[in-house]
Amino acid sequence: MASEDRKAFLLRIDPKLWAELEGWAGDELRSVNGQIEFILRDAVRRRKPAAQTQSEPEERDGKRVRA
């Protein structure tokens, strides 16, 4: 069930890619949805300039981590 503060959307994905994501997610004890969100969040973080990422709280699996 989607949380009120999250955006739900349909994603069509190749079955072979799904299988890879499913295995990767299992290795890291995440759901496939959680793994996709983790990958996307990491990609966005890497894309931002260093000055912006230092001022924002770190997140792990969608939860803020205190320094």
Span 17-27, pLDDT tens digits: 999 999 999 99
> Do the beta carbons of residue 38 and residue 27 sit within 8 Å?
no
27 HSE (CA, 13 A, CB side): 6
Res 67: pLDDT: 46
Q: Which of 55, 59, 26 is nearest to 40 (CA)?
A: 59
Give this prediction's pTM.
0.64
Span 33-67, pLDDT tens digits: 999 999 999 999 999 876 565 555 666 666 666 54
Q: Which residues contact 28 (CB under 8 A, 6 or more apart)?
A: 35, 38
Domain ranges of the chain: 15-54
